[in-house]
Structure 1
Amino acid sequence: MEQQKKYWNKIENACCQLITCITALIRLVSKYVIGTYMHHIEYRPDAQPKTCKTLADIPGPRSLPIFGTRWIYWKFCLYKLNAVHLAYKDMFIRYGNIIREEALWNIPIISVKDRDFIERVLRHSGKYPIRPPNEVTANYRKSRPDRYTNTGLVNEQGEVWAKLRNKLTPELTSPRTIRRFLPEVNQLADDFNTLIGLARDGNNVVKGFESYCNRMGLESTCTLILGKRFGFLDGEVSDTATRLADSVTSQFRASQEAFYGLPLWKLFPTRAYKDFVASEDALYDIVSEIVDSALIDEQLSCTDVRSVFVSILQAPGLDNRDKKAAIIDYIAAGIKTLGNTLVFLLYLVAKHPDVQEKIYNEVLRLAPAGTAITAEHLHNATYLHACITEAHRYKHPALLTAISYFPENTYQFIVFSCPTFIYIYRLLPTAPCIARVLESDFEYENYQLPTGVILY
Structure 2
Amino acid sequence: MLDLPLSLIVFTVCAAALVLVRLYRSRTHHSIAHIRGPPAKSMIMGNIRDMAYQESVGDLDFKYMKEYGTAWRLHATFGKPVLMISDPKALQHVLHKSGYMYPKTTQSTTLAFNITGRSIIWAPNGDIHSRHRKIMNPAFTAPQLRSFLPLFRRSSAKLCQMWKDQILSRTPEGTTVVVNTWLARTTLDVIGEAAFDFDFGALDNTDNELMKAYENMFADSNMYPTVWNAIFQAFWDYLPDKVLEQVRHIPTREYRRMQSTLRLFIKYSQRLIAQKSAALASDKSSKDVMSVLIRANASEDARYKLSDEEMESQMSIMTIAGHETTANTITWMLYELAKHPDYQDKVRAEIALKRAEIIARGDADFSIEDLESLEYLQAAIKETLRYHCIVYHLNRMASQDDTIPLAYPIVSASGEMISEIPVAKGQIIMLNIAAYNRLPEVWGADAHEWNPMRYVEDKVDPQVRVGMYANLMTFSAGVRGCIGWRFSVIETQAIAADLIENFQFNLPEDKPEIIRVPAGIMGPMIKGREGEGMKMPLHVTAV
Deviation at 1:326, TM superposition (A): 1.8
| 2:358 is aligned with 1:377 | no
2:266: which partner in 1? Answer: 284
Higher helix proportion: 1
> C-alpha separation between the residues in 2 aligned to 1:357 and 1:115?
34
Deviation at 1:310, TM superposition (A): 0.7
1:354: which partner in 2? Answer: 342
1:183: which partner in 2? Answer: 150
Pairing partner for 1:432 from 348, 372, 392: 392
Aligned with 2:221: secondary structure?
Answer: helix
Determine if contact 1:136/1:258 at 8 Å carries over to the other structure: no
RMSD between superposed Cα atoms in Å: 3.5
2:133: which partner in 1? Answer: 165
Q: TM-score, normalised by structure 2?
A: 0.56
Tell me which of the two structures has the higher relative contact order, counting C-alpha pairs closer than 8 angstroms and 6 or more residues apart: 2
> C-alpha separation between the residues in 1 aligned to 2:312 and 2:48?
34
| 2:257 is aligned with 1:275 | yes
Alignment of 1:158-237 (within 5 A): 158-172=126-140, 174-197=141-164, 198-199=166-167, 204-234=174-204, 236-237=205-206
Deviation at 1:341, TM superposition (A): 0.7
Whichever residue aligns with residue 432 of structure 1, its letter is Y
2:530: which partner in 1? Answer: none
Change (3 A) 1:211 1:367: same
Aligned with 1:367: secondary structure?
Answer: helix
Structure 1's unaligned 5+ residue stretches are 1-52, 74-78, 142-146, 401-430
Change (3 A) 1:385 1:88: closer
Aligned with 2:103: secondary structure?
Answer: coil
Determine if contact 1:340/1:399 at 8 Å carries over to the other structure: no
2:288: which partner in 1? Answer: 307
Change (3 A) 1:251 1:94: closer
> C-alpha separation between the residues in 2 aligned to 1:303 and 1:251?
36
Change (3 A) 1:338 1:233: same
Deviation at 1:192, TM superposition (A): 2.5
Change (3 A) 1:344 1:296: same
Whichever residue aligns with residue 290 of structure 2, its letter is F
Deviation track 1:264-288 (CA, whole Å, cap 9, x = no partner) reads 3769824022332222212211222
Change (3 A) 1:249 1:124: same
Determine if contact 2:187/2:322 at 8 Å carries over to the other structure: yes
> C-alpha separation between the residues in 1 aligned to 2:55 and 2:322?
19
Structure possessing the higher radius of gyration over alpha carbons: 1
Deviation at 1:308, TM superposition (A): 1.3
Aligned with 1:364: secondary structure?
Answer: helix
Aligned with 1:441: secondary structure?
Answer: strand
2:278: which partner in 1? Answer: 296
Change (3 A) 1:72 1:257: closer
1:109: which partner in 2? Answer: 82
Structure 2's unaligned 5+ residue stretches are 1-30, 237-242, 413-419, 432-543
Aligned with 1:110: secondary structure?
Answer: strand
> C-alpha separation between the residues in 1 aligned to 2:162 and 2:36?
47
Determine if contact 1:214/1:336 at 8 Å carries over to the other structure: yes
Whichever residue aligns with residue 156 of structure 1, its letter is P
| 2:329 is aligned with 1:329 | no
> C-alpha separation between the residues in 2 aligned to 1:138 and 1:380?
37
| 2:90 is aligned with 1:125 | no
> C-alpha separation between the residues in 2 aligned to 1:54 and 1:168?
38
Deviation track 1:299-319 (CA, whole Å, cap 9, x = no partner) reads 663556x43121112223332
Aligned with 2:176: secondary structure?
Answer: strand
Determine if contact 2:94/2:102 at 8 Å carries over to the other structure: no
Q: TM-score, normalised by structure 1?
A: 0.66
> C-alpha separation between the residues in 2 aligned to 1:388 and 1:274?
35
Aligned with 2:138: secondary structure?
Answer: coil
> C-alpha separation between the residues in 1 aligned to 2:276 and 2:290?
9
Whichever residue aligns with residue 145 of structure 2, its letter is I
Deviation at 1:91, TM superposition (A): 4.6
Deviation at 1:70, TM superposition (A): 5.4
Deviation at 1:182, TM superposition (A): 0.8
| 2:413 is aligned with 1:450 | no
Pairing partner for 2:217 from 241, 250, 255: 250
